[in-house]
Every structure is written in C-alpha cells, then in structure tokens.
Amino acid sequence: MPTFKAPLRDMRFLMNEVFDFPTHYAQLPGAADATPDTVDFILNECARFCEEVLAPINESGDAEGCHFDQGEVRTPKGFKEAYQAYVEGGWQGLSHPDIYGGQGLPMSLGLIKSEMMGTANWSFTMYPGLSLGCMNTLMQHGTEEQKQRYMPQLVSGEWSGTMCLTEPQCGTDLGQIRTRAEPQADGSYLITGTKIFISAGEHDLTSNIIHIVLARLPDAPVGTRGISLFLVPKFLVDQNGQTGARNGVKAGSIEHKMGIKASATCVLNFDNAVGYLIAQPNAGLEAMFTFMNTARIGTSVQGVAHAELSYQGALAYAKERRSMRSLSGKKDKDQSADALIWHPDVRRMLLTQKCVAEGGRAMIYFAAQYADKMIAALLQDDQKSYQYWDDKLGFLTPILKGFLTELGLEAAQLGMQVYGGHGYIREHGMEQIARDARIATLYEGTTGIQALDLLGRKVLLLTRGQCVRDFSAEILKFIASHLSMKPLRGMLWTLSKLTAEWNYLTTRVMLAARKNRDVVGAASYDFLMYSGYVTMAYFWAMQASVAISKKSQGGIEQPEFYEAKVMTAEFYFAKILPRARAHAESMLAPQQSMMKLSQNQFAFN
C-alpha cells in the first residue's frame, strides 16, 4: 500500500491563496473560532492522525475484512482503537454546534478533515461519515426533544448513525418502498421491513447506532408522496439520553464486496422496531435529501481521495522503477535503464491523476464554501438565504458526485497501469485502491442518476437552464477580470468558448426534450461529463492565475510549486479538456439509435 502523506501544501494553497478561506471564515456568522492559527493546527493534527493511525490499518483492514456472527459485526484489528482515538480527538463534532458538545467550526473544515481521512483509509471513514448525514438530518428536521436526546452522543462520536433507504426490490426508485410504520398510542411507531446495502449498519465501534429509516404509514399515498422518515435506535434511549433495551432491529448478514471490505455493509431487518417520526408525515423524501446531499458531497470526496492516494503510489514507483531508454535519449546515464517517469505515456497517466486530484480538490473546496453559507443561513433561520445557497450547491452536487467519482476511478486504474503487472497483485496495494474506488460511482445514486438529477431535474425542470446561465456568468466574470494575464489567455479563450457552448447545448437539449422526453435520458450522461470537464477547467484556470500572479511577484518560497501548477493546468487544457468535445457531439446525436432495438434484439441465444 502506498505510504500516505497528507497533501498539506496543496490544501493550504487552495484554502489560503485561491479561495481565501481566512476572509471567508472571518465573514461567516458563528465562525469566529476558525482563525488561521486554529485552522492550521487542525490541518496538522488531522494529517498526523491520518498518517500515523488510519493509513497503517488500511491494507490490513482490507485483508481481514469484517466478521459476522449471529447478527453481530466485528471490525478488523485496530479499528476499535483507531475509532477511540478519533473520538478522544474530538474529530466527530468538529463542525457541529457547541450546544451539543461540538466545536462549532464551519462545515468546510469537516469536509477537509474527511478528505484526509478518506485518502488514508476510506473504509474506516465510512463509519463516522454516515453519522454526519444523520446529525445534519436531525439538525434540520428533528424536534427539539429529538435533538436533545440524540445529538450530544452523536456529536461526541459515542454513538453513530446510518441512512436506511434501499430495499431488496428498490434502490433509486424509492416509490416502491414497502417498510411499514404502525402508529402507537404513545406517539411512537413500530417499524417493520428489510433494508439492504446499509453502510455501517452494524459494528462494534460505538455503544449505539441511530438509524434514519424511510417507511410508509398505513394510510400513506402510493409512490414517493407516501414516504415518511423515522429515527430508529439500535438501543432504546430514555429522556435522559441513557440507553436501555435492545430495539427490534438486527443485522441479517453483511455483504461480501469487491472493495471497502473493512466497512460493514449490512442487511438490516426491522421487526416491530420502535421508531420516531422525523419531519411531517409523508414528507420523508424531502427531509431525506438533507441526508442525501450530505452523503453525495462526501462521496465526491472519495473520487479525489482515491486519485490522490493512487497518484502518490504511482509517482513514487515511476521514479524508482526502471525500464528501457527514453525515446529522446538516455536520461539516467549511470543506470542500466531510465526511470518510468521519463516515458511520455507514463507522464500522461501521472499528470492525469494529478489533474483529477488537485482539480477535484479545488471543485470540492469551492462547493464547501457554499455549504458553509447554507448552514449559516439555516442556523440563523434565514430561509431566503438558505434557499439561495442550497440552490447553488444543489446544482454543483451531481457534478461533483458523478464527474469526480468517474474520474477518481479512472485515476485509480491509471495507478495500477503505471505499476504494470505489479499493480494487479495485492503486494503493492494499488489494486485495493481501484477496488475501493469502484463503489463511488454506484452508491448515493449511480452516475446515471446524478446525470438525470442534473439535467432532468436541476437544469430543465426546476430552473429551465438558469442554473447553467448563472454559473456560466461566474466563469465569464473570472475570464474578463484575468485577460491581462498573457500566459493565461490561451486557457481563457478555450474556457470562454466552452462556457458559451455549455449554454448552447443546454438550450438545444431543452428544446429537443419538449418533443421527446427520452432525449433527457439519452443526453444526461454526456451533459454531466461535459459540465464536469468545463467546471474543472474553470478551477484549473483559477489555480493557474494565482500561481502566475505569485511567480510574477518574486521572492516566494517553493517557486517550483507554482510553476508545476501552471504546467499541470496547461496539460489539463491540452490533453484532458478535449474530451468535452466528444461528449458535446454525443449529447446532440439522435437518441433513436438507443431506442430502436427491441428487447429480443439485444441478444440471440
């Protein structure tokens, strides 16, 4: 397994020089404690925890996996000790209100913490990661009594949380949910049904697990309009927050998965389990999207995490491994062969990984500032401001989740390719990264679902293209303000053409969809990927502009860091961004070719 080193230099570049987090925090209500010194201390301590505690049990956790015995799950060796260190460090409550025992720091800091943890050990990060969505759902939709009863232990990390949506007969189509909720005289409900693919659904890390469960009331309307949301604890909790009897929820099995094997993915059986309604009856789907948006942003981090870890491993190997001579002549003349890094195709792979990791990180940090403003508005009960920032973040969420996880998987596979045959065996750990990365494009909504959410729901249905026009306006404003930078003009010209084309493509698809709704489904994947490539181009141009400005000032430390930023941006525009053109052509191609075949014509046996 590659030795993980937290990319603090790049993280600080984005936070302090590109997005100016110090000013952002200074202007953010309730973020007075997020001073530069405090933030720097948190980054250093998180890096230490990840490098010294989490990374060393990543490979061993994958090899051992989780153990299941009659409804009980035991995590791999070292996980309980690592989780206890996580709790003692106060990491779970980093970005949650101090009234529940948290530190009250901005959500973006929690997301940056999750990136480091996820890169070091994604399987471990799944356990506390699911709790964050549970807490955010309770914060926004729970009653005051529910918050007081459950939040303190969730914030401390003493308890954990889950999201229970999927059932054997339905995944994305939640209208097919069959889990029942029978009302009781005391105001509680008895929950009965089976949920599958429940990450961290059962484990030995915490003393209680709080499940957030979708279920139907007896008189609920059919379809998605009849879904309610319930809180179901593993152990019942009294008014004083003390745990009591075991509730009627038990793990039936754990999944035997391709990757993230140290993360317990469970079948959960609810048998008259006591639950409590969250939000209004039959409004569970709307409340659940609080959880889903949190989860989707968190999953987009996985694309960056696996690209970063795979890049670190591939880069070290490419510098050490020797094979053949460079086509342009000997480079390591005192050696029998040149290092892999001298070969152009190896550089293509390494630079692609670098572009995904650093470009994706920029996209997430930018969106994290939106999330900070959204949460601040929520805490101030400013619904107008909350809706504004929620809409802006909602547009980016499917791009982040769909695009970055697809590219993260590509980067992980490139890491294996740099190693050649050694990448395919377990000894070097590169194949684990690829296996772990594979799930990211599937859970919390597949890439196809993200694409439909972006194009069908956010762009066409809700805003009629306005969200694309608004974000495009931000890009064009950036372009106009940086035209004086001669080294950047080529990138800016390319970016301006693609930004204009993005609006043109949106209009073309919108008009075509009026005549045939299948156009949306046929074009959505290409639309999402095109949107992702243009968005990443924007943030690479932004990083390059800062690097160019720094270089022009002179007297800077590590000038080679800024030079590398500019050259990596040039590689992205020259060798990766042209992919967008293929997506544009495919997007506008007649969709009839997809729909002509009958079911029988797909195969002849």
Active centre residues (catalytic)? 444
Residues 6+ apart with CB under 8 A from 499: 472, 475, 476, 479, 534
Longest dimension (CA), the chain: 84
Tokens standing for residue 570: 């040039």
For residue 118, give the amino acid letter.
G
Tell me if 102 sits within 8 A of 96, measured CB to CB.
yes
State the DSSP string of 442-482.
Answer: TTTS-HHHHHHIIIIIIIIIISTTHHHHHHHHHHHHHHHHT
**Is 95 strand, coil or helix?**
coil
Residues 6+ apart with CB under 8 A from 113: 42, 46, 91, 94
Question: Could you count the other beta carbons within 10 Å of the beta carbon of residue 310?
Answer: 35
Tokens standing for residue 240: 């004083």
Over the Cα atoms of the chain, what is R_g?
Answer: 24
Exposure pattern of 230-260 as b/e (b: 16+ CB <10 Å)? bbbbbbbbeeeeebeeebbbbbeebbebebb
Q: What letter would DSSP give residue 167? A: B
Bridging pattern class, strands 228-233 and 243-246: unpaired
Report how far residue 185's alpha carbon sits from residue 578's, in angstroms, rounded to the nearest whole number: 63
CA distances from 340 to 426, 510, 567 (A): 21, 47, 20
Helix axes 107-120, 284-320, angle to 10 degrees: 50
Tell me if 460 sits within 8 A of 513, measured CB to CB.
yes
Could you tell me which of 416, 59, 65 has the C-alpha nearest to residue 257? 65
Report how far residue 143's alpha carbon sits from residue 171's, in angstroms, rounded to the nearest whole number: 28
Tokens 């290092």 found at: 339
